[in-house]
Amino acid sequence: MRPRSMPILLPILFVGASCMDGAPAAPAPLGGFDAAVPVVLADAHATGREATAGPSPAPRGRPSSAIAAAAAAAAATISPPVVVSDAGGQPFGRHAQDVNDAGQVIGISSTGHAFLWAEGAGMRDLADLPGSGSRAAAINNAGQVVGSSVTDTGLPIAHAVLWTDPANVRDLGGTLGGAPSEASGINDSGQVVGFSGSGAFLWTEASGMRDLGTLGGRGSFAFGINAAGQAVGSSGTAGGELHAFLWDPASGMRDLGRLGGCCSEAYGINDAGQVVGYATTANGQHAFLWTAERGMVDLLPDAPRSVATAINAAGQVAGWMTRETTTRGFFWAPDSGAVELPPLPGHTFSVATALNARGQAVGRSSLAMAGSEVAGTERAVLWTVRPGGGSAPAVDHLRAVALPPGVIPGLSGIWLRVRLTDAGDAGPWDWRIDWGDGVVHTPTDVARSGEFAFLRAAPYTTAGPHAITVTATDPSGLTSGAATTVVP
């Protein structure tokens, strides 16, 4: 534990003639400056102090990370699963495969066709190639969908396809070696990955279908792609094993390794290059999270069997895990651990296959007997997960102004306007402000959220520009991502 001092808040000032006794208005370079927000001193004994402060609060400490994670998981709320279907329940989705940030869901419907669904708009079949069915595998934020459709031109064969809208399906061209193909991932630039026969491919409008190669063995499969064009999947190795890979346009295919067993596969990658999938261990098949800094880490070591299927920009992961004869979808977050995604009433089985930036996960729910799904009972579903009080704070607005003396009495110095959001947490928060010139302030127990400002009274003594970086930490020990702004 360490002693804390209560923040001191300067009186709220308003820009205007009646308050400034005829002082000149702020000059044009201070555009965006607004003295009507509360201001906290940042450099008064390295802590924030409030003008209305009473006695200092009792010292408080941070709980352990395990306690914080447990509290966060307990605070998470999960909406009841929503069945992905048309009005009246027919047709309905049997397998939901992906969801974009707008909440559009794609997958395979009860009619055997690829579908596109959105709340309020219902379900639409996606056009097929001339053949006998289709499968939607991935959707990007532009609403473009990829998957496969069977063509009966000559020998019936599945071809990788792209839908630009529900009525327009495009064959992505000749398959590699004449084998069946499927598109399994698409990024917002329209780059597509998948597999043709036993070879992973990357498709672009400019160059068509490109073979991504292997890790030295036979066969490879690509399942996901991020904004940088990095693809993930699995490949045979020279030793006859199946290993997860990360393919980069500049460096080619990289083996992501294993967790002690023979095999691994990667299914999802976010724009930060974090990868998820599964790897076999001495104790079974386990979900993993791979990062360049830490390598492959067992995500759910206590679950006998698990698979991670998707990861979003916040590093949140979706997948499924099995304990004894019960299989449940899960949602995992760095600050809260894993929570189960419940099946529909009367069902006993759930699987999550995809996750968007809003915390919406999709997958399927079904009846299971002896641990196995009962054919025909599958329903595509959507869950919404709200981390609640266990979520990390966010500094989602930051702006700095250097205010010279005499413009507004009492507010000369570096004026740093922030906006703090932290759903379900009442604070107070500890802050760290790196002013970009070697000076770091750590205001503690700041009870303010929403929009307010920090004031550093001491001017810069070095030439600018200066990059200012701030973070906020809540009482459970969860810290925001770093926010940065520049002041001349």
Q: Tens of pLDDT along 31-81?
A: 445 656 788 888 763 443 332 222 222 333 333 333 334 444 444 678 889
pLDDT at residue 100 greater than cutoff 50: yes
Looking at residue 389, its pLDDT comes to 47
Looking at residue 31, its pLDDT comes to 41
Residue 125 lies in a domain: yes
Looking at residue 153, its pLDDT comes to 63
Looking at residue 70, its pLDDT comes to 42
- For 372-400, what is the mean pLDDT? 84
Alpha helices in 267-384 (DSSP H): none
- For 452-472, what is the mean pLDDT? 89
- For 409-424, what is the mean pLDDT? 82
Closest listed residue to residue 27, CA positions, set 398, 408, 400: 408
Q: Say how far apart CA 56 and CA 321 lie, in whole Å.
A: 47
Q: Say how far apart CA 226 and CA 267 lie, in whole Å.
A: 12
Residue 113 lies in a domain: yes
Sorting pLDDT into bands at 50, 70 and 90, what band is 11?
very low
Sorting pLDDT into bands at 50, 70 and 90, what band is 424?
low
Q: Tens of pLDDT along 430-458?
A: 899 999 998 999 998 888 888 899 999 88
Q: Which has the higher per-residue pLDDT, 21 or 192?
A: 192
The tokens of 46 are what? 């390295």
The enclosing domain of 454 has a CATH number of: 2.60.40.10
Cα 114 versus chain centre, distance:
25
Looking at residue 55, its pLDDT comes to 29
The answer on 402 and 386 residing in a single domain is no
The answer on 214 and 80 residing in a single domain is yes
pLDDT at residue 27 greater than cutoff 50: no
Q: Tens of pLDDT along 249-307?
A: 999 999 999 999 999 999 999 999 999 999 999 889 999 999 999 999 999 988 899 99
- For 7-26, what is the mean pLDDT? 31
- The string over 53-66, giving b where at least 16 C-beta atoms fall within 10 Å of a residue's C-beta and e elsewhere, is beeeeeeeebeeee
How many domains, the chain? Answer: 2
Closest listed residue to residue 46, CA positions, set 410, 421, 458, 409: 458
Q: Which has the higher per-residue pLDDT, 362 or 38?
A: 362
The answer on 451 and 344 residing in a single domain is no
Q: Say how far apart CA 322 and CA 175 lie, in whole Å.
A: 37
- For 103-127, what is the mean pLDDT? 93
Supply angle C-alpha 477, 482, 484, rounded to 5: 150
Q: Tens of pLDDT along 147-165?
A: 999 887 666 788 999 999 9
Looking at residue 44, its pLDDT comes to 63
User: Going edge to edge, which strands form the sheet with 483-487?
Assistant: 440-441, 430-434, 466-473, 483-487
Cα dihedral 158, 160, 163, 169, rounded to 10, equals: -50
Looking at residue 238, its pLDDT comes to 96
- For 329-341, what is the mean pLDDT? 87
Q: Count CA atoms within 13 Å of residue 97 on its CB side.
A: 26
Residue 362 lies in a domain: yes
Full domain range(s) for residue 259 = 75-390
Looking at residue 335, its pLDDT comes to 74
Spatial contact of 203 and 225, defined as CB atoms under 8 Å apart: no
**Neighbouring C-beta atoms of residue 319, cutoff 10 Å:** 31
**Which residue among 330, 363, 390 closes a domain?**
390
**Neighbouring C-beta atoms of residue 228, cutoff 10 Å:** 16
Looking at residue 200, its pLDDT comes to 96
Sorting pLDDT into bands at 50, 70 and 90, what band is 177?
low
Looking at residue 179, its pLDDT comes to 75
Residue 69 lies in a domain: no
Task: Tell me if residue 341 falls in helix, strand or coil.
Answer: strand
Spatial contact of 451 and 47, defined as CB atoms under 8 Å apart: no
Q: Say how far apart CA 260 and CA 211 lie, in whole Å.
A: 29
Task: Tell me if residue 387 falls in helix, strand or coil.
Answer: coil
Looking at residue 318, its pLDDT comes to 97
**Which residue among 366, 390, 414 closes a domain?**
390
Element (H, E) at 194: strand 192-196
Residue 28 lies in a domain: yes
Least confident range from 117-126, 208-217, 334-343, 358-367: namely 334-343
Residue 279 lies in a domain: yes
The enclosing domain of 356 has a CATH number of: 2.130.10.150
The answer on 407 and 358 residing in a single domain is no
Q: Say how far apart CA 95 and CA 442 lie, in whole Å.
A: 50
